[in-house]
A and B are shown apart, each in its own frame.
Chain A
Amino acid sequence: MKKDARFYWTFFKSTFMISALTFGGGYVIIALMKAKFVDELGWLDEKQTLDLVAIAQSTPGIMAVNTSIMLGYELAGFFGAIIGMLATVIPPLVIIGIVARFYELIAENEYVRLVLKGMQCGATAILVNVAIDLAVKQFKAKLILPLIIIVATFIANLFFDVNIMLLVLIDGVVGLILMRGKIYG
């Protein structure tokens, strides 16, 4: 992968489009980035991306912005980080700037509502698809500890509303104590 103007343009364009078309924030944007940069373009591998998301998740600030900064840095250093940040921020910045002035008008429009509903479902499908791929891979590895973490974290978050930061902290400590072995890498 050459770091020429075309590379930067593709990176900016992809991140910009994902940010501009994604409703629902955090995990949806990350799922879309994984679909684009890992599956479609092959610029990053899956483990690298999950590691970056794990760090972004535990870093102050906005997760989607943090993730695109880290992906950009990993791909192309400081300049890449800036491009990733701008490409994520500019679409909502422009759209909110406009919508803030006319939002009652826009909110009541039936066509706008239908397009938004459709796109919400499309984003959900992409998120589900990414989740299936990731889960299948983890289950195929047949390692008991990661599976316990997945199931326990999933149940705690979905059914008991346990704070995400607390879950990340617990899973990090479990990893620190029990999962230093090479088989978990």
Chain B
Amino acid sequence: MTYLLLFWEFAKISVVCVGGGYASMPLIQAIVVNKYHWLSLSEFIDIFTISQMTPGPIGINAATFAGTKAAGTLGGIVATLGFVTPSIFICIALVKIVTKYGDLGAIHGILNGLRPAVVALIASACVSFILLAVWDIEKFPSDPVGTMNYLGLIILIGALIAARKKIGAVPILLGSGIAGIILGFVF
């Protein structure tokens, strides 16, 4: 029963959460902590810490973590699948609609407006990530020179040069991880 409930609750959350990972966290908290007590509040806050140091979207991390705590490994799998199953149908339906009617002026116009918006949002994410990489904070530093993380700066510049030279994404990520350990001994 718990498995069905996990699948159903996370499927519901995924249908109503719009606007990215952190936006869905209050919804997940309402279900997982307040309604069913699958996690305590402090366990729920741990999800944020864990998500900082593990790959993958925070929404998936939250579903897996809550499902695992509620009903073991299988619970984690079921909750995660519940969280992504509705997306398959919604996404495919949307792609079909856009492909079919994409030549219509209206949808064409909307997409023409959204394309530059996506570029702007990626650029904006860039700034936040640069701050995090080089200054370890998410706001603009008050003392940019004094608080600079030189290890971060060097790896960032090196990886950027590699990316401009069309080196693949996976080698860059692995190389940056190794560079982190090597430079860790220097600084």
Residues of A within 8 A of B52 (CB): 23
Is A52's CB within 8 Å of the partner chain B? Answer: yes
In the complex the two chains form, what is the Cα distance from A106 to B46 in whole Å? 13
Task: Mark interface residues in A88-128 (1 if CB within 8 Å of B CB, else 0).
Answer: 11011101110110010011001110111111111111111
Contacting residue for A119 out of B60, B84, B87, B176, CB 8 A: B176
Is B145's CB within 8 Å of the partner chain A? Answer: no
8 contacts between A and B (CB under 8 A): A64-B56, A85-B84, A92-B61, A103-B46, A120-B133, A125-B172, A176-B110, A180-B106
Which stretch of B1-9, B30-38, B121-129 is in the interface?
B121-129
Q: Footprint of B on A, CB under 8 Å?
A: 17-32, 35-36, 39-40, 47, 50-66, 69-70, 73-74, 78, 81-82, 85, 88-89, 91-93, 95-97, 99-100, 103, 106-107, 110-112, 114-131, 134-135, 138, 146-147, 149-154, 157-158, 163-165, 167-168, 171-180, 184-185
Residues of B within 8 A of A123 (CB): 129, 173, 176
Given A54-B115, A66-B87, A126-B169, 15 other A-B residues pairs in contact with their CB atoms under 8 A: A59-B87, A69-B88, A73-B95, A96-B64, A96-B76, A103-B49, A112-B53, A114-B184, A125-B163, A131-B126, A135-B123, A149-B113, A167-B117, A176-B106, A179-B113
In the complex the two chains form, what is the Cα distance from A182 to B83 in whole Å? 39
In the complex the two chains form, what is the Cα distance from A153 to B115 in whole Å? 11
**A89 touching B80 by the CB < 8 A rule?**
yes
Given contacts A129-B164, A154-B123, A180-B105, whether A60 and B57 have CB atoms under 8 Å apart is: no
